[in-house]
Chain A
């Protein structure tokens, strides 16, 4: 091994070696945190919503005539009948919000009426007896709402509901020891309890930002038909008929009444579009991090190529002397690769410490998760391979320096 003489020679080129080492360290620190963020975003984007996404679409319906909520209630009823009668539609329901929507209603959940601090927070979806089927969500315990339990009402603070259905994650959180069905909870600031009559399989919250992480799968369905200036129709198409249903549904609604506004651009959205819109920022962040990482890697590679090329030019005579003294081309190639590997390893060690430091700061500052060693190792391997790749061309050039170079005049 040539480590000792390389180290000895490097003492005379400290500045360049330190510069590249520091660049590698900094790149590693940023890259592994960036990879970590990208992975976290991808994991977030890939979370299941619980909805049968390949068949579900949503219509945002705004009423043109908002004079009478009673009229609106009747119109929603008529709309739903019209939608359910379409050959391409399996079921339809009205709601105030849906998973991944971003906007919606969330409420504190308490176990006792006199409880000061909430037990948790949850999305509240105004639903009817068709909602579960329209979303494609399975009931895993208890029963669905009956048509008689569904009431038309305006959204009001302090209102309570005698029966509710909750998601399994919320059920597990509230009743870790057993079956939630038949138990009571307090969903608003009233002293009236709501009885859990059913538990759904996975059902995601509408909340996307802030502290929604811990509430991401808390959902409560209440049997209410919303009377307000707008309504969302959640429609589930029959298998393979999503496109047809998305085309037919608005026509059916306008055939019922033209006193409505459905935005031609995004008034009708497939759930794939809902998901893409919901995670737009996550995709953006992942892409941005990817670009930053790629640019940093390119700069580091360019730095290594530049410095090694400079060193090769500077040491041309020295390489010739080594060749004259018996070094083979492979010896010269291996000299530069080893030298780069040594700088790279030092950079990686410092970079690892820096990465952990940056991550600890982000954990404290942005409540991020602790960096997994896998990302540090991945970034370290990427950087070492990149370093070896970047040094290859100038090292090959060095290996082609002929031994006769030793006899050239100084």
Chain B
């Protein structure tokens, strides 16, 4: 589903070159739930923005659902984002001027979908996240957890092949975070491929597989006892 080979991302200024990702390799299979972890500044978000075609990369290869994306133009990238990828952001990224219904409708409108189908999908997605009754509410009228559920509904409404989540519970309290996580797990059980970037070892432990990034490269946790111990302990706690 998502395969990056020797991928690099370099930010250049007049005086310095900074490698955000270097010789980056990852292969996420269809239906997997992968957590991407790593310290701040390790390149997690850069990986996610490149994976979501929000940004271009400097070198290497990236295949998304079998398509090599490096040569795609802006319109083609927009189309893939719209049809194949669902985003869940830490800050929810709802449009404050639009109500819940209209927010969920945004990607469907860009797909050129007819109004009756849009409505059916929107209400279906909102029903799934338990917010069908809040369709006419504005984001400011909802709690953080509810806003994130709307964002998930927006991502789900388009039936994406890949769900990318960037710290989806980062702005939520424990109870709300648990609700959102359970929702993601449910979505995964139904067959969705999920790649989730997180700082939180508890959250990472709920994923099928963990990928750890340090200094822009994927690190094998099994060979690094410091991280291995910490994550295994956390995972054990959660599962018990």
Footprint of B on A, CB under 8 Å? 2, 4-5, 8-9, 11-13, 317-318, 321-331, 402-404, 406-407, 409-410
Contacts and interface: CB of A to CB of B under 8 A. Distances in A.
Contacts of B89: 406-407
A403 B82 contact: no
Given A5-B106, A404-B49, A407-B45, A326 B83 contact: yes
Contact of A324 (B54, B74, B105): B54
Given A402-B54, A404-B54, A326 B110 contact: yes
28 contacts: A2-B109, A8-B97, A8-B99, A9-B97, A13-B97, A317-B93, A318-B97, A321-B106, A322-B95, A322-B106, A324-B54, A324-B81, A324-B93, A326-B78, A326-B79, A326-B81, A326-B83, A326-B111, A328-B110, A403-B53, A403-B54, A404-B54, A406-B54, A407-B49, A407-B54, A407-B89, A407-B166, A409-B91
Contacts of A328: 74-75, 78-79, 110
Nearest to B107: A325
A406 B219 CA distance: 28
Nearest to A2: B109
Given A5-B109, A403-B54, A406-B89, A325 B81 contact: yes
Contact of A325 (B45, B74, B99, B154): B154
B55 interface: yes
B54 A12 contact: no
A12 B97 contact: yes
Given A5-B109, A331-B110, A325 B82 contact: yes
Nearest to A10: B97
B171 to A, nearest CB: 10
Nearest to B94: A321
Nearest to A323: B78
Interface residues of B, number: 32
Nearest to A13: B97
Given A9-B98, A318-B96, A326-B81, 17 more contacts: A2-B109, A8-B102, A11-B97, A12-B96, A13-B97, A318-B95, A318-B97, A321-B106, A323-B78, A324-B87, A325-B82, A325-B87, A325-B110, A327-B78, A403-B54, A407-B48, A407-B54
Report the 9 A-B pairs with minimum CB-CB distance, sorted nearest first: A326-B82, A9-B97, A326-B110, A325-B107, A404-B54, A12-B97, A403-B54, A328-B78, A404-B55
B52 interface: yes
Contacts of A2: 109
Contacts of A326: 78-79, 81-83, 107, 110-111
A5 B105 contact: yes
Contacts of A4: 102
Given A325-B87, A404-B49, A8 B98 contact: yes
Interface centre among A2, A13, A328, A409 (most CB of B within 10 A): A328
Contact of B110 (A11, A12, A327, A404): A327
Given A404-B55, A410-B91, A329 B74 contact: yes
Nearest to A399: B74
Interface string B153-176: 010000000000010000000000
Contacts of B98: 5, 8-9
Interface string B102-141: 1001110111000000000000000000000000000000
Interface in B48-86: 48-49, 52-55, 74-75, 78-79, 81-83
A55 B223 CA distance: 106
A325 B106 contact: yes
B102 A5 contact: yes
A407 B81 CA distance: 14
